[in-house]
Structure 1
Amino acid sequence: MTTELNEIIFIAKRERHKHLFLNYRNLHKFPAELLRDEGLPFLERLYMKRNSLTALPDNLALKLPNLIELYLHANNIVSIPEGIGNLTRLQSLDVSNNALQLVCPEIGRLRSLRHLRLSSNQLKCLPPEIGELKDLETLEVSMNQLTSLPDQLYRCTSLQNLTADHNLLRHIPRQLCCLRRLSQLSLASNRLTFLPLDLGKSRELLFVFVDNNVDLRGLPSYLYNKVIGCSGCGVSAQVVKGDPGGSLDEPLTETLFRLPPEVKVVCSETDNVAPLEELSMRTLHRICHQRTTDINIPKSLQDLLFLPLGHCHRCSQAMFTIVYPKLFPLRDTVLAGVHRRTAVSFVAYCCSSHCIRTFDLQG
């Protein structure tokens, strides 16, 4: 096997191959011949799936400087070396189905990366430096032990497909709502209790799958006209007696459904004026977006104004500390026949008692 492998690599070097297939070779170590002398400077695609590799060499970028695609699916790799950040032309990296426990921060230096596959590993967190991958289109992190996703993901402005099924996520960053190119979001079989208020506000987001999040009882009403998967959601929660579907006869509170923890106050229809703190934030937000020059306010406040808690589902008013929620049980919508094994409802988040009275899900 070693003689045959060395012969394959020798021919690849001599003939300046751009593709090299080393799948199913029972490799326990990275082949030394690949790194000998000048390496393979012309190689662009390296396939090494279904082997038994446990580590990658630190000088990988030095010997294979022009790699565009690196496929390492189904090995036993525990960590990615810091030197990975030197593969400046790399566009696709597949390290799925390995034994990864950590992704090094240097991953953020792969500025050409478009596809990153890390599914079926042992990851408990992702480095915030992933947010530096401006060209990233696909991120797959399913079948790990992630309890959160980095807020900095919103900087991945090219991201189109995010798959994070079968993890331990209790929430996702509301910054993800800023991803204008995101078209598919899959978060099935996690521990989600709520979703960001603005999720689905972007027209590009067409597919949202949150199946088997048993504590998830509410979907933002922006998802009403999307392709959604929510079977098995809310099945562990107690069914609310009576009809909670948007009636304003009694105050809507967190006893009916879970709200994001950032919401400080939940008001009823008897509250005609929002708190001064909320009115001030809304006014500042409006001024900041109308002016072309910066306003002299603290940066921390500027950052908060940049990312409101959500926007009113009726009038699009920005909201920061307060929402008026209105429920539309799934059984009362056209999707009831599609998602029968669920107790989830659509929730409209409004900015005032007037908006909550006049909001209609089908309007």
Structure 2
Amino acid sequence: MASELHEAIFMAKQERHKNLFLNYRNLNIFPVELLKDEGMQFLERLFMKRNSLTTLPDNLAQKLPNLIELYLHSNNIAIIPQAIGNLGKLQSLDLSDNALQVICPEIGQLRSLRHLRLANNQLKFLPQELGDLGELETLDVSMNLLRTLPERLHQCLSLQCLTADRNQLHCLPRQLCLLPDLNELSMAANCLTSLPLDLGRSMELQFVFVDNNAHLKGLPSYLYNKVIGCSGCGLAGQISDVKQLCLTLGDVTVPLPSELKTIGSETDHVLPLEELACRVQHAAYNRTSKDVKFLTPFLLPKSLLDVVQWPLGHCHRCSQPMFTIVYPKLFPLRETALAGVHKRFWCGEECREKVFSYDAVKPKNNLP
């Protein structure tokens, strides 16, 4: 393995390669061959994914001054040297799936940086200097321990995609609503309790994913005609044992329906029975409507039949139709068959339907 590594670096130097692939090399330290003498002044793209690196050399920028892209996904890097800020031509930096706890402020000196990926680390905060990255287009900080985002991010005027899923965020800085080019914002699986009232006012912002925020009670009105991520995915679980399940109530054991393959715990996101019923009816209607010979009348009120025929949207992960989920994938509904049908309320044994339009939905009480 060592000889193959030396040969790959030797050939890259001899032929002045602009791209060097050192993925899956079981590297524990940064190869010294890359830093000898004049280094590799001509190298533009360095791929070192899935190794065991724990740190980067302080003279990286001195020896590799023309780096445009640096990919360090899936290593054990815990510290980024302050000298990282000297990579003045760097446009893409991927440090996802490492052991980072702190990002040095010098990262704000990478004024050419366009794509920064820091997902799946142990970051508790981000430096305000990220706001100095005026060319930044993509920022992924998902799967960390973040409680807040830097307010100065609104200075990243080129930012188009911001992903901060699976953190501990309680709020979104209102200043982010000022980002003129922001097209996609993903804040799924956090601790959000509210969203800025101005969120979605920009015509550029078209995709907002805020599913799996249990304490989020409402959406700003500007988001009603945006594409909203769903809460609760219909993907089938991976079940190894498909034998019939039973529910034990005291001394009585009740067999559960054969369709039920698993029981969710308190921490699982389990779809409500109303949603499952609508999906079953929707699938049955689609099957029967394609073959008139087997078409049987549905004993449902017309308004409920409309709901079964036309779901509010589809899950962006499993493509299942959605009817009652809090954050469906919403498209403009004013000109569709669902323009006045959006929610049902069920009371005891009586099915009572309440119909209203999103045009009539206004924030109430302390909702955003």
* TM-score bracket, shorter-length normalisation: 0.5 to 0.7
Given that 2:229 and 2:327 are in contact with CA atoms closer than 8 Å, whether structure 1 keeps it comes out as: no
The yes-or-no answer on 1:342 pairing with 2:326 is: yes
The yes-or-no answer on 1:119 pairing with 2:119 is: yes
Give CA deviations for 1:222-281 in whole Å, capped at 9, x if unaligned.
Answer: 00110001415xx99xxxxxxxxxxxxxxxxxxxxxxxxxxxxxxxxxxxxxxxxxxxxx
Deviation at 1:204, TM superposition (A): 0.4
The structure number with the bigger radius of gyration is: 2
**1:18 corresponding residue in structure 2:** 18
The yes-or-no answer on 1:171 pairing with 2:171 is: yes
Unaligned runs of 5+ in 2: 233-265, 268-306, 314-320, 331-357, 362-368
Distance in 2, matches of 1:213 and 1:343, equals 10
Distance in 2, matches of 1:361 and 1:110, equals 47
Distance in 1, matches of 2:182 and 2:327, equals 27
Give CA deviations for 1:305-327 in whole Å, capped at 9, x if unaligned.
Answer: xxxxxxxxxxxxxxxxxxxxxxx
SS, match of residue 93 in structure 1: strand
Map 1:1-363; keep pairs closer than 5 Å.
Answer: 1-231=1-231, 335=312, 338=322, 340-342=324-326, 360-361=359-360
Deviation at 1:361, TM superposition (A): 4.9
Distance in 2, matches of 1:37 and 1:360, equals 68
Deviation at 1:28, TM superposition (A): 0.3
Distance in 1, matches of 2:327 and 2:47, equals 45
Distance 1:187-1:148 versus aligned 2 partners, 3 A rule = same
SS, match of residue 219 in structure 1: coil
SS, match of residue 46 in structure 1: strand
Give CA deviations for 1:152-187 in whole Å, capped at 9, x if unaligned.
Answer: 000000000000000000001000000010000000
Distance 1:69-1:168 versus aligned 2 partners, 3 A rule = same
Unaligned runs of 5+ in 1: 237-330, 347-358
Distance in 2, matches of 1:343 and 1:185, equals 14
Distance in 2, matches of 1:340 and 1:19, equals 50
Q: What's the % identity of the aligned pairs?
A: 67
Letter in 2 for 1:342: V
Distance 1:209-1:62 versus aligned 2 partners, 3 A rule = same
Give CA deviations for 1:43-82 in whole Å, capped at 9, x if unaligned.
Answer: 0000000100000001000000000000000000001110
Deviation at 1:335, TM superposition (A): 4.0
Distance in 1, matches of 2:216 and 2:141, equals 21
Give the aligned CA root-mean-square deviation in angstroms: 2.4
- Considering Cα pairs closer than 8 Å and 6+ residues apart, tell me whether 1 or 2 has the greater RCO: 1
Given that 1:217 and 1:343 are in contact with CA atoms closer than 8 Å, whether structure 2 keeps it comes out as: no
Letter in 2 for 1:341: I
* TM-score in terms of structure 1 length: 0.66
Deviation at 1:343, TM superposition (A): 8.4
Paired residues in the alignment total: 253
Given that 2:191 and 2:213 are in contact with CA atoms closer than 8 Å, whether structure 1 keeps it comes out as: yes
Distance in 1, matches of 2:206 and 2:10, equals 48
Distance in 1, matches of 2:23 and 2:196, equals 42
Deviation at 1:129, TM superposition (A): 0.1
Letter in 1 for 2:326: T
Moved over 6 A (4+): none
Distance 1:80-1:138 versus aligned 2 partners, 3 A rule = same
Given that 1:230 and 1:339 are in contact with CA atoms closer than 8 Å, whether structure 2 keeps it comes out as: no
Letter in 1 for 2:195: L
Deviation at 1:137, TM superposition (A): 0.3
Letter in 2 for 1:98: N
Given that 1:221 and 1:361 are in contact with CA atoms closer than 8 Å, whether structure 2 keeps it comes out as: no
Distance in 1, matches of 2:94 and 2:28, equals 18
Distance in 1, matches of 2:25 and 2:178, equals 44
**1:311 corresponding residue in structure 2:** none
Give CA deviations for 1:195-228 in whole Å, capped at 9, x if unaligned.
Answer: 0110000000000000000000110010011000
Give CA deviations for 1:266-308 in whole Å, capped at 9, x if unaligned.
Answer: xxxxxxxxxxxxxxxxxxxxxxxxxxxxxxxxxxxxxxxxxxx
* TM-score in terms of structure 2 length: 0.65
Letter in 2 for 1:56: L
Distance in 2, matches of 1:198 and 1:114, equals 26
Deviation at 1:7, TM superposition (A): 1.8
Distance in 1, matches of 2:359 and 2:200, equals 17
